[in-house]
Structure 1
Amino acid sequence: MKEKRGSGEADAQDERSTHSLATTEPSSPCAVSPPSLTPSSTPTQHHLTLERGGGGERQAFNKMPKWMQVRDMLLRAAQDGDRYCEQYGDIIANQVAVERFISSSKGNVERAFKDLKAHLKWRHEYRVDGIVDEDFSDLKARNEVYWGGVDKRGVPTLTWILRKHDANNQRPERFVRFFIHQIETGMRASPNYPNTTFNIMVDLDEVGLHNNDTEMVAHLQPLLVNNYPKVRKALLVFPINWLVSLLWDTLLKPILMTLQPDIEDKIIPLRGDYKAALLDRFAPEELEEAFGGTLPLSVTRPPQPLPYKRVPCSVIVQDRLRRSGSGSGSGSGS
């Protein structure tokens, strides 16, 4: 993949995240600052006011922005011994990441807390941190699921050639893990991780019932819904012809609904001259030759993931305390 593919996401939300919030500047809203560790006379610091206090603290907690409420509930869980929350302080303190889960929970703070808490546990148990280093060379050689070019808004695109999917010759669990491997590899190529947005392009040409894989769909669907909210942009589906229409309910709808649940632009079926429609979204050099562009499949490169190292909650808290203590020097901890 060309170098520019990992850099631009011009239309994405204000993605202020980085791979490690341990380097966040002191004024960043993403850093955690519990009241017991923060000088009370520093008005710019957000105090961690949780429900354990009296009515005043509860009132103050409820007035905080929702993402801070979720962050502080997760931090409290870490302080109470939840090892999964403790491990991922960088995600807990990441405003954009927390707001994605709030959005997917329709603004419900308690649900967002539970969903993000479950996501952190899944990251540990599914071994997501090291998944980009796993060997899937046999599946990659099939050129079934791979990263293509970026669209005109700078959003990278994951391509799925569905006719190459062979449900009879692979274990569904391994294919799903490969799919997550591909997603994580592409997302980590951006400094906005874990909030990298991306398109999914599904080529339906020559698909048939032999490509049906209900067991794989059953494994993949909950992983995407529960762990990648609000990062998928458009789902481009083509070509739409009589055969696709015939197979829509029996074969395609379950797969596409697996990919689609919270995609911003929803499913975009490209009818008629789909190549012209793709060129409206992609520059020719970012679109494969098979789809009407000039990008040879042979020169597409897998994204180069940037290093990711989780930052424990305790480290972020200590770093904030150090920064606060070496700042203006005003006040003492309360």
Structure 2
Amino acid sequence: MSADLKTTAPNGRENVLTSQEEQAKVNEVRRLIGPLPDKSSIYCSDASITRYLIARNWNVKKATKMLKETVKWRAEYKPEEIRWEDIAHEAETGKIYRSNYIDKHGRTVLVMRPSRQNSKSIKGQIKYLVYCMENAILNLPPDQGKMVWLIDFQGFNLSHISVKVTRETAHVLQNHYPERLGLAILYNPPKFFEPFFTMVKPLLEPKTYNKVKFVYSDDLNSKKIMEDLFDSDQLESGFGGNDDTGFDISKYAERMKEDDKKIPSFWTRLNSSSAAPHDAPPLDSIKINSDSDASDNEEKDLSPAHGMDAEIINTDQMVNQGDRNDTADRH
């Protein structure tokens, strides 16, 4: 845990959380959640609980409610059981894939090319997105808890816009993968995309919205963002780098199949600190709207400042410190 963490109070002053206070909040969330079955217990590590607390500005009741909802979602959706064969058809065009390089901060990079959409099934698209998120997390280094999205808009047109998909995507990512996004780079978005982005802004939480950067290949200032984040020899030529290898579905399929083999051991890696008791209650008995999730009016939300750079740096530091203390679980 970090030595001191900052939140922003309603009066605009910063409240500093010591490591002891932070741990106390983590312990309180764990107490309110209660005993859990094995996989849920592994998921609810200190590092994971810390991410939910940061997402809810260290409000214990709100973080607990959010985490309970994720626990139930994971029990029903079973994201850790999705395998390459289940989503291979969605991946064929390279619309989303984990790159074979990381950024200079050690963060996993997910490349997204919305113009290569090959499916009309919202369910299928979300399932593939969840698979990609789980795979990206599986491949995060022990000292890193976040990832970068590189979104390439080459060939993008109005037919590729779907408010329904955007809404469902935002819901899954914000509610069930909090504090996993370090930065989203929108590379060469067309002019007509800006009004659309303004329209969907209400669907995004301020923290998520503030992590989005627009980058244009003909703008020297925004190009510097890429230079500061990536090694140009590793970065794909589509994003201004020197690597012109391109996406190869056959090679990518082999990479993902190898990664799939790691998943079972990841989710059976119980230890004395995370093991759940054998008499843990079934997930259906976990009440999301229980007494522990009292009205938001009982505890004021500590809203963060909306400065993008400050927000990215502060949350990155907080999560990374938490992750370093719980490398056994990257979820």
TM-score (norm 1): 0.64
Report the secondary structure of 1:285's partner residue. Answer: coil
Q: Within 2, Cα distance between the matches of 1:69 and 1:216?
A: 35
Structure-1 residue corresponding to 2:138 = 188
Q: Kindly tell me: are residues 187 and 201 of structure 1, through their superposed partners in 2, closer, same or farther at Cα, counting changes over 3 Å?
A: same
Count residues in correspondence: 246
Instruction: Find out whether 1:309 has 2:257 as its counterpart.
Output: no
How far is 1:236 from its partner? 0.6
Instruction: Find out whether 1:106 has 2:57 as its counterpart.
Output: yes
How far is 1:165 from its partner? 2.3
Report the secondary structure of 2:148's partner residue. Answer: strand
Map 1:114-133 → 2, pairs under 5 A: 114-133=65-84
Instruction: Find out whether 1:68 has 2:27 as its counterpart.
Output: yes
2:232 paired residue among 262, 266, 284: 284
Instruction: Check whether the contact 1:162–1:207 (CA below 8 A) recurs between aligned residues.
Output: yes
The runs of 5 or more residues in structure 2 that have no matched partner are 3-20, 279-331
The CA RMSD over aligned residues, in Å, is 3.4
Question: In the alignment, residue 281 of structure 1 is paired with which amino acid?
Answer: L
Instruction: Check whether the contact 1:105–1:111 (CA below 8 A) recurs between aligned residues.
Output: yes
The structure with the largest alpha-carbon Rg is 1
Q: Kindly tell me: are residues 221 and 108 of structure 1, through their superposed partners in 2, closer, same or farther at Cα, counting changes over 3 Å?
A: same
Structure-2 residue corresponding to 1:205 = 154
Structure-1 residue corresponding to 2:121 = 171
Q: Kindly tell me: are residues 314 and 147 of structure 1, through their superposed partners in 2, closer, same or farther at Cα, counting changes over 3 Å?
A: closer
Structure-2 residue corresponding to 1:136 = 87
Q: Within 2, Cα distance between the matches of 1:165 and 1:99?
A: 35
Map 1:254-265 → 2, pairs under 5 A: 262-263=207-208
Instruction: Check whether the contact 1:69–1:109 (CA below 8 A) recurs between aligned residues.
Output: yes
Q: Within 2, Cα distance between the matches of 1:288 and 1:128?
A: 29
How far is 1:279 from its partner? 2.8
1:152 paired residue among 104, 120, 139: 104
Instruction: Check whether the contact 2:37–2:276 (CA below 8 A) recurs between aligned residues.
Output: no
Q: Within 2, Cα distance between the matches of 1:103 and 1:177?
A: 26
How far is 1:313 from its partner? 9.2
Q: Kindly tell me: are residues 259 and 165 of structure 1, through their superposed partners in 2, closer, same or farther at Cα, counting changes over 3 Å?
A: farther
Report the secondary structure of 1:202's partner residue. Answer: strand
How far is 1:204 from its partner? 1.6
Q: Within 2, Cα distance between the matches of 1:215 and 1:298?
A: 28
